[in-house]
Amino acid sequence: MSPLSYSYSPSALVASYEHLKAQEQDLLQRTSSDSAMTMNSSQRIVVAATQITGAGLRDSDVSGFCFRAERAIELAVRQGANLVLLPELWNAPYFCQSQEAILMDLADPVENNVLIRRMQRLAQIYNVVLPVSIFERKNNALYNSVVVIDADGSLLGTYRKSHIPDGTGYQEKFYFTPGDTGFRVFDTKVGKVGVAICWDQWFPEAARALALQGADVLLYPTAIGSEPQDPTLSSVDHWQRTMQGHSAANMVPVVASNRFGTEILQHPDGTEKQRIHFYGRSFVTNNTGEKIAECADNSDPEEPVTIVTAEIDPEQNRRDRAAWGLFRDRRPELYQILLTKDGNM
């Protein structure tokens, strides 16, 4: 070789740069989306998707829902989960079937919330991350929110559902103010967790916003089932494909936990007013949108709680995404139309 030639290998080069950074560790300020790939390189997230029904509980007993949720968490932890996702508004029947002002009494502030208190205790006992769906009261507005509890029981913060549906059986605009938090990624002890809630799952913008901020996994607590105005319509495959698409396009795993079973709303005289069959089918994808774990559409009353678990390798997923080049090639200057409903650029 000439005196001006020298050789290098890609892997030795990267190792050398990691060595330099390790020497100056204290100088580094890492942001969530730009963490060095080798941080926590051995850490896996073991997620659990769950589904819970209130079938068989007497008088819609809220304590019964809580016991079942706690059982789901315990089952999942026994199978190795370090992050368990409960369904949306898991502590009661889906009360948005109809518009009833009295049901707004179910909302409580984060600071004074027995559900969160119980879940904090469980998180600490089991060393598990618990993103918990609640009906939140704040400044006398009501939100559909998720509070993220870290594996030591501490509160990491709140996300408020951004997209609020409205349709027969799903009267959410009556109850919930559209969320004001924007899309948030929480830096938990097991990884960076992007949280969205049910109807948010239909919006590619929400998934993208979370992936851009460095989410290692997207979580969707959910309450979706039949459409009372059209019993022939089943959205279940459409629902799964939409989230599989977010997973595929952002190269990030998705976890969706849905309730299951049939919830029958009564008239004051006890006769049936309306019903929804919640279809379950909670699932987890890998980083290409492929389903790698899925619960059945289970209507067996002997099994009011179902869980599945799956393992996520955040470091490998970050490498796969970087190699594929998708985020490199975005063209934000062309996306202005996404920010305005009238489409004027």
Binding site for its own copies (CB under 8 A): 33, 162-167, 178, 182-183, 199, 202-205, 207-209, 212-213, 237-238, 241-249, 288-290, 323, 325-326, 329-341, 343, 345
Which two structure tokens, joined as six digits, stand for 201? 């799952």
Contact 185, 214 (CB under 8 A): yes
Count other Cβ atoms within 10 Å, centred on residue 103: 17
Question: Residue 222 and residue 17: Cα distance in Å, rounded?
Answer: 43
Contact 158, 136 (CB under 8 A): yes
Q: How far is the CB of 324 from its own copies (least distance, A)?
A: 8
The active-site residue, picked from 96, 161, 263, 315, is 161
Contact 81, 47 (CB under 8 A): yes
Decide if 161 is catalytic.
yes
Which residues have a Cβ under 8 Å from the Cβ of 72 and sit 6 or more positions away? 48, 50, 52, 84, 86, 305, 306, 307
Q: How far is the CB of 157 from its own copies (least distance, A)?
A: 16
Question: Residue 159 and residue 266: Cα distance in Å, rounded?
Answer: 32
Q: How far is the CB of 206 from its own copies (least distance, A)?
A: 8
Please name which of 79, 47, 80, 53 lies closest in space to residue 67, comparing C-alpha atoms: 53
Rank residues 237 and 303 by Cβ distance to its own copies and give the closer one.
Answer: 237
Rank residues 237 and 300 by Cβ distance to its own copies and give the closer one.
Answer: 237
Q: How far is the CB of 47 from its own copies (least distance, A)?
A: 19
Rank residues 128 and 136 by Cβ distance to its own copies and give the closer one.
Answer: 136
Decide if 88 is catalytic.
yes
Q: How far is the CB of 74 from its own copies (least distance, A)?
A: 34
Report residue 197: phi and psi, to 5°.
Answer: -135, 120
Rank residues 4 and 233 by Cβ distance to its own copies and give the closer one.
Answer: 233
Contact 320, 91 (CB under 8 A): no
SS3 218: strand
The active-site residue, picked from 96, 136, 192, 198, is 198
Rank residues 75 and 292 by Cβ distance to its own copies and give the closer one.
Answer: 292
Q: Which residues are catalytic?
A: 88, 161, 198
